Chain A
Amino acid sequence: MSRFTTVLAVAAIAVAFWYIFNWLQPPKPPQLDPNAWWGPIELKGREDISIRPFEIKFEKKVIDDLKYRLKNHRPFAPPLEGVTFEYGFNTAALEPWLKYWAEEYKFADREKFFNQFPHFKTSIKGLDIHFIRVKPQVSAGVQTLPLLLLHGWPGSVREFYEAIPLLTSQNSGYDFAFEVIVPSLPGYGFSDAAVRPGLSLPYVADIFRILMKRLGHDKFYIQGGDWGAAIASAMVTLFPEDVLGHHSNSAVTQHPHALLRTLLGALIPSLIVEDHLAERMYPLSKHLAYLLEEFGYFHLQATKPDTVGVSLTDSPSGLLAYILEKFAVWTRKEHKFKSDGGLGFRFSKEKLIDNLMVYWITNSITSSMRFYSENMSNKFREMNLEAFTSPVPTWALQARDELVYQPPAVLRAKYPNLLNVTVLDDGGHFLALELPEVFAEDVFKAVHAFKKWRSTHSKTDH
């Protein structure tokens, strides 16, 4: 261990010199291509920018085919003796899920459930973007604030269904409620996928900015988790004047100063993080080992999404295992050592299959995974978005078992106006779905703080 610390010290000093050098020369602001077009060329200039109502349909043909595949899957290799979820999704735990999906999941009911909120589509930059829009039912004197809710992978708009009623109703103690706009990311669910490469974080950020403006919201609040948090981060970096406040439940920054501080904290943790939270990020070796163990999917999707996508498109069993493995091990780290992956801990089978249906009926697993490749491309990394700070007031909600933890000292490298962090002793990666009340309450708290901050800072600070 001490040898590692020495190596780390030397590395930290080297990195320090490198970043100090970079800091003295601020990076150039990234330029987005204004002519970016993600749909067929023929549609350019002819797109339908009206906001059209949309209904989710579970078509009989699709359901019959799905049931057939589930019932007629090939026999799966038995798990190794004494192994739970250490090698991935334990096939002994698979059968009850497949049986449920094929025989008990109530397709008609769930279709209705999905459509309880109004859905719409509108064409932006060549892509039909799907979104849910719910206006709050509140009495006079209660302000309505626009809130953009952004999901990630392998999630969907379904993650917010339990939180939406809470966000769109009167909450005692607050004089506002939210109008929520919940889109499917491009290439996910009911939103079109790009036909050409290049649709990375900043371009998705641009699409959502256009969406909000089209809906009449010149300025708005954003909440995001997973890729949603990364998109939110891009939005507050590129369009800070449009965003009134930024709430994230997957707050992570790779700003050079953040990395520097993280390395410094490896030597002297008390400089960077509170004692009782130090174990959420140190020792670095332990956490890097954990990330290495969990990020095989990331590595594969960032390089060969179309390859692995074929089997996941073709086999619902394959899709279920691939996606539910994340809901298992990212909710609680110790669930990796449970024979059922701890999947029944906070999620009903119904909830998780709802989410799978979004991927299955739209056939969007491959395009969803391409987002990883786009965001790891040289073209995107050269934009160096992480090196820019954002003045937008920011609030982080940090669940106990989230994949990566960064303390305020580190987050402030990117978000100097980090107003607060809520640290939970509970919860995992899919926070909105897992703990909707806690999630919604924290969003109210954050926006209240954003409003207060705004009233004392009349112009956005830089």
Chain B
Amino acid sequence: MSRLLFIALPLLVLASIPLYLLVLKSPPPMPKLDLEEWWGPPELKQKQDTSIKPFEITFSETMVKELKERIKKRRPFAPPLEGVGFKYGFNSKQLDSWLKYWAEEYPFAERQKFLNQYPHFKTNIQGLNIHFMRITPKVPKDVEIVPLLLLHGWPGSVREFYEAIPHLTAVSKDRNFALEIIAPSLPGYGFSDAAVRPGLAAAEVAVIFKNLMARLGYKQYYVQGGDWGALIGSAMATFFPKEIIGFHSNMALTLSPAATFLEFVGALFPSLIVEPELANRLYPLSEKYSTLLEELGYMHIQATKPDTVGIGLTDSPAGLLAYILEKFSTWTNPDFRSKEDGGLSYRWTKDQLIDNLMLYWSTKSIVTSMRLYAESFSSRHFDLKLDEIQVQVPTWVLQAKYELAYQPPCILKLKYPKLVNASVIEDGGHFLSFELPEIFAKDVLKAIGEFRKLKNVKTEL
């Protein structure tokens, strides 16, 4: 009898862990959101301008001249160690060709025109002038226009969507709808104002974008996001299931205790958690964690000392280029760390990547962009325990081969019980819309088609 107890007792204790995490644990309460929280200077509160103003991106002559001078006057950079490729970070041997191009060949006037090919606007939400692009397709009578909010991340920008937008907004005989795109710059990024006081984390950005879409007259809409856009989109879907009728993410991740528990279970019994051909995207866990440790230094410093590291990045275009392009290298394919050129020409032209840099440089927004990490990794934001609150909105995930982290559907369903589909592709990395715009757009359209079938709802404009 006692022997039975000796075996049964620890088993019972062990079994109680999943029972608690997966079944008994009650979700945290929905956070109380202040939908009118003010992020701008207090003086402006009484005279808020709620109009929607057209906006044009300008690369002023002074800015361009100064940029070129700074690039030309750069200090000599430490030569890389022998044979290391990009393993110690951006290989300085590559800097000269990039900087020379930026200063001498990048056609500023042309690119300014390129960036203005879509209509841009600004409107003041909760004290911040929020920049966004709005692209409305021309449609025949029987095609419904359906709004899609596209959310970028770090170190990206609205530029990531430029190649995908024509595909997203295309009218096709295969579907009875066409997408109207609303693509804002996150607060503190690009042409959107930054908060003047602490507290603007992912949850608060979700509120800002909810208010933005309300300002633009949308009662119901879809949301797509990657990187911070995925986290913000997820927060929006968590808080506002009435307004968000479908959520598409290309970086789906949930970090709840239950999710971690299942990951550990799968370390012992992978077949319980993940399909065999996808197991290597998650296992062995030791490899996954050592890769994350290797790659998350930037996140660690930005979550704790953004203002420190941001000063050099504000002041030096070479510094900004190295810091940002390192991500476009490593996050597209981790094997690029062994390449001397970081594989940067694999999918993008120099113009494309420098366009994105210009949105950080010309707006001086690198520091404010990095503060989002400090805000969202604060104990206040963590205590909201957003990962443990389920999303009651139909969700669709697109999972690229080289995305930074992978979770199979059974884990994602902990957070997204209405997971409609997980598109797994054998190509692509973190900046998916930028890297594979057609595949990206196709998947988003497919998702929305399915969302519409599920709800069969007419979106009111």
* Interface set of A (CB-CB < 8 Å, partner B): 65, 69, 73-83, 87-91, 94, 193-197, 292-297, 299-315, 317-322, 325, 363-364, 366-367, 370, 373
Q: Which residues of A contact B307 (CB under 8 A)?
A: 77, 79, 87-91, 321
Asked if B84 CB lies within 8 Å of chain A CBs, one says yes
Q: Which residues of A contact B374 (CB under 8 A)?
A: 87
Q: Which residues of B contact A366 (CB under 8 A)?
A: 77-78, 92
Of the 9-residue stretches B103-111, B235-243, B273-281, B295-303, which lies at the interface with chain A?
Answer: B295-303
Q: Which residues of A contact B298 (CB under 8 A)?
A: 300, 304
* Contact of A88 with B309 in the complex, beta carbons under 8 Å: yes
* Contact of A313 with B75 in the complex, beta carbons under 8 Å: yes
Interface string of B81-123 (1 = CB under 8 A from A): 1111000111110010000000000000000000000000000
Apart from A194-B81, A311-B312, 9 more pairs, CB < 8 Å: A80-B197, A82-B198, A88-B310, A91-B311, A299-B296, A303-B293, A311-B320, A318-B316, A366-B78
B347 CB to nearest A CB, Å: 20
Give Cα distance in the complex from A363 to B315, angstroms.
17
* Contact of B89 with A76 in the complex, beta carbons under 8 Å: no
Q: Which residues of A contact B84 (CB under 8 A)?
A: 197
Q: List 28 A-B contacts (CB under 8 A).
A: A73-B315, A77-B314, A80-B196, A80-B371, A83-B198, A89-B305, A91-B307, A292-B304, A300-B297, A300-B300, A304-B89, A306-B78, A306-B92, A307-B323, A310-B92, A310-B323, A311-B323, A313-B75, A313-B77, A314-B77, A314-B312, A314-B316, A317-B312, A318-B313, A325-B308, A363-B76, A366-B92, A370-B88
Asked if A197 meets B81 with Cβ closer than 8 Å, knowing A303-B297, A307-B326, A314-B318, the reply is yes
* Contact of A310 with B95 in the complex, beta carbons under 8 Å: yes
* Contact of B319 with A314 in the complex, beta carbons under 8 Å: yes
Closest 9 CB pairs of A and B: A318-B312, A311-B319, A88-B308, A307-B89, A311-B312, A296-B301, A304-B89, A88-B305, A300-B297
Give Cα distance in the complex from A91 to B75, angstroms.
23
Asked if A311 meets B316 with Cβ closer than 8 Å, knowing A87-B307, A195-B81, A367-B78, the reply is yes
Interface string of B190-214 (1 = CB under 8 A from A): 0000111110000000000000000
Which of B77, B194, B295 meets A303, CB within 8 Å?
B295
B131 CB to nearest A CB, Å: 17
* Contact of B78 with A193 in the complex, beta carbons under 8 Å: yes
* Contact of A302 with B297 in the complex, beta carbons under 8 Å: yes
Give Cα distance in the complex from A319 to B364, angstroms.
18
Q: Which residues of B contact A196 (CB under 8 A)?
A: 81-83
Asked if A311 meets B315 with Cβ closer than 8 Å, knowing A296-B304, A299-B296, the reply is yes
Q: Which residues of A contact B195 (CB under 8 A)?
A: 80
Q: Which residues of A contact B295 (CB under 8 A)?
A: 303
Asked if A297 meets B305 with Cβ closer than 8 Å, knowing A74-B364, A193-B78, the reply is yes
Instruction: Closest B residue to A306 by CB, please name it.
Output: B89
Q: Which residues of B contact A363 (CB under 8 A)?
A: 75-76, 78
Q: Which residues of A contact B320 (CB under 8 A)?
A: 311
Which of B305, B326, B368 meets A304, CB within 8 Å?
B326
Asked if A309 meets B315 with Cβ closer than 8 Å, knowing A197-B84, A296-B302, the reply is no
Number of B residues whose C-beta is below 8 Å from A?
Answer: 59
Instruction: Closest A residue to B305 by CB, please name it.
Output: A88
Instruction: Closest A residue to B298 by CB, please name it.
Output: A300
Instruction: Closest B residue to A368 by CB, please name it.
Output: B78
Q: Which residues of B contact A90 (CB under 8 A)?
A: 307
* Contact of B319 with A77 in the complex, beta carbons under 8 Å: no
Q: Which residues of B contact A313 (CB under 8 A)?
A: 75-78, 319
Give Cα distance in the complex from A308 to B314, angstroms.
12
* Contact of B319 with A310 in the complex, beta carbons under 8 Å: yes
Q: Which residues of A contact B82 (CB under 8 A)?
A: 195-197
Instruction: Closest A residue to B200 by CB, please name it.
Output: A80
Q: Which residues of A contact B74 (CB under 8 A)?
A: 314
Residue in B79, B88, B364 with the greatest tally of chain A CB atoms within 10 Å: B88
* Contact of A312 with B319 in the complex, beta carbons under 8 Å: yes
B84 CB to nearest A CB, Å: 6
* Contact of A296 with B367 in the complex, beta carbons under 8 Å: no
* Contact of A76 with B311 in the complex, beta carbons under 8 Å: yes
Give Cα distance in the complex from A293 to B305, angstroms.
9
Asked if B80 CB lies within 8 Å of chain A CBs, one says yes
Give Cα distance in the complex from A74 to B314, angstroms.
7
Give Cα distance in the complex from A135 to B76, angstroms.
37
Instruction: Closest A residue to B195 by CB, please name it.
Output: A80
Q: Which residues of B contact A91 (CB under 8 A)?
A: 307, 311
Asked if A314 meets B75 with Cβ closer than 8 Å, knowing A83-B198, A306-B92, the reply is yes
Asked if B306 CB lies within 8 Å of chain A CBs, one says yes
Residue in A194, A195, A321 with the greatest tally of chain B CB atoms within 10 Å: A321
Asked if B405 CB lies within 8 Å of chain A CBs, one says no
Q: Which residues of A contact B305 (CB under 8 A)?
A: 87-89, 296-297, 325
* Contact of A299 with B297 in the complex, beta carbons under 8 Å: yes
Instruction: Closest B residue to A321 by CB, please name it.
Output: B311
Q: Which residues of A contact B79 (CB under 8 A)?
A: 195
Which of B78, B83, B367 meets A309, CB within 8 Å?
B78
Asked if B21 CB lies within 8 Å of chain A CBs, one says no
* Contact of A306 with B90 in the complex, beta carbons under 8 Å: yes
* Contact of A80 with B318 in the complex, beta carbons under 8 Å: no
A127 CB to nearest B CB, Å: 13
Q: Which residues of B contact A304 (CB under 8 A)?
A: 88-90, 297-298, 326
Q: Which residues of A contact B174 (CB under 8 A)?
A: none
A126 CB to nearest B CB, Å: 12
